[in-house]
A = this chain, B = another copy of it.
Amino acid sequence: MNRKYNFSAGPATLPLPVLEEAKQQLLNYKNAGMSVLEMSHRSKDFITILEETKTALTKVLSIPDNYDVMFLTGGASTQFATLPMNFLKNSAGYINTGSWSKKAIKEAKLFGNVNVVASSEEQNFNYIPQDISLPGDVDYNHITSNNTIFGTQWLQFPQRGESPLFVDMSSDILSRKFDIQNFDVVYAGAQKNAGPAGVTIVIMRKDLTEKSNTSLPSMFQYKIHADKDSCYNTPPVFQIYLVGLIAKWIESEGGLETIEKRNRQKGELLYQTMDERSSFYTGTAKKDSRSFMNVTFRLPSEELEKKFLQETETKSFSGLKGHRSVGGIRVSMYNAMSLEGIEKLTEFMKDFAQQNS
């Protein structure tokens, strides 16, 4: 089939069985006589797809009854604005752990006071601040669970405390188990572990949805989307269908426990390969903050990094170039990246280090 090992940070590799099922159903979904791409969002078939997607996500993430599950559009970038538009009355606490946090802070400042509770910016975001105590007198606190660009991840989340806690989980939702009840809002652009680009998952405590701002344009009101079950306007039907297939795939693989185990195994193999050659491969994130989704490292010189990338291109590896704000190499390894992919990459890394040291 000639499929590459796709190490892109997102949109990213998707599970092959999911793509195969989507392909098989592309002209005619389960004898509906049409593609999901052509399906009215008011049709029985799509309403069933929507319900099945919510049910599978709810099961996989253990979402309690007192949360709304919405499928919106505009990515996390839109949530950066609509969350403060709905909930920022006086001040909010933000933890600044990278580019995405910074963008979220920038948008929030348009609507109220932002208290930057902690930041790792002074060290180019190479760590996650530890032992944070979140303020209890703000409208909400906000964190970014994983940082695609700087290769850091909250390995243990801060405790919610007195104020609601919002988390942008775009790049690691569905990659590991976590207690959703520690959060009042979990949101994620789907295009890493949860689906293709074009749909945003928003999981919101119902008592918070009820308090959302009703003087905004309809499309920015969470209560409207929750009340209309994500069908106030035409939702991205095909994207929702794929999120459902992915959630069911996770279930069939053994749930988040299995997925998390695999992701740890991949990450440990890759970090071990780096650490055993630490004079050649320098991880950019501090060890206690290393991400299991995006691994960032530098080589001894930019020439060697260029050569590394050139050689990987001939190896059916794709998407390994680091983001310009860090440079070097970035290995993104979401759920759909197989252990085999990481084994092949680490074999290559060993050979490359040996030949170029």
Contacts and interface: CB of A to CB of B under 8 A. Distances in A.
Interface of A: 1-4, 6, 8-14, 16, 19-20, 22-23, 26-28, 31-35, 37-41, 43, 73-78, 80-81, 85, 103, 106-107, 110, 189, 191, 196-199, 215-220, 232-239, 242, 316, 318-319
A213 to B, nearest CB: 12
In terms of DSSP, what is the predominant structure of the interface of chain A? Answer: loop
B74 A37 contact: no
Nearest to A237: B197
A8, A77, A106, A196, most chain B CB atoms within 10 A: A196
A234 B100 CA distance: 13
A20 to B, nearest CB: 7
A14 B2 CA distance: 29
Given A6-B34, A31-B2, A319 B197 contact: no
A9 B38 CA distance: 10
A52 to B, nearest CB: 18
Nearest to A75: B233
Given A14-B37, A14-B38, 4 more contacts: A40-B319, A73-B236, A107-B218, A196-B237
Contacts of A9: 40
A24 B199 CA distance: 24
B233 A77 contact: yes
Contact of A197 (B85, B217, B236): B236
Report how many copies the assembly holds.
2
B27 A1 contact: yes
Contacts of A43: 8, 318-319
A27, A32, A76, A81, most chain B CB atoms within 10 A: A27
A9, A26, A234, most chain B CB atoms within 10 A: A234
Contacts of A232: 77
Contacts of A14: 35, 37-38
A198 B319 contact: no
A281 B239 CA distance: 38
Contact of A236 (B6, B220, B233, B236): B236
B27 A26 contact: no
Given A33-B318, A234-B191, A236-B197, A219 B19 contact: no
B8 A38 contact: yes
Nearest to A5: B33
Contacts of A12: 38, 40
22 contacts: A1-B28, A2-B28, A3-B27, A6-B38, A8-B38, A10-B40, A14-B38, A16-B27, A22-B26, A26-B26, A33-B316, A33-B318, A37-B196, A41-B197, A73-B73, A73-B78, A75-B219, A77-B233, A106-B218, A110-B215, A197-B238, A198-B237
Contacts of A23: 23, 26-27
Contacts of A27: 1, 3, 16, 19-20, 23
A263 B235 CA distance: 27
A34 B13 contact: yes
Nearest to A170: B234
A92 to B, nearest CB: 15
Contacts of A217: 80-81, 85, 107, 110
A189 to B, nearest CB: 6
Contacts of A6: 33-34, 38
A263 to B, nearest CB: 18
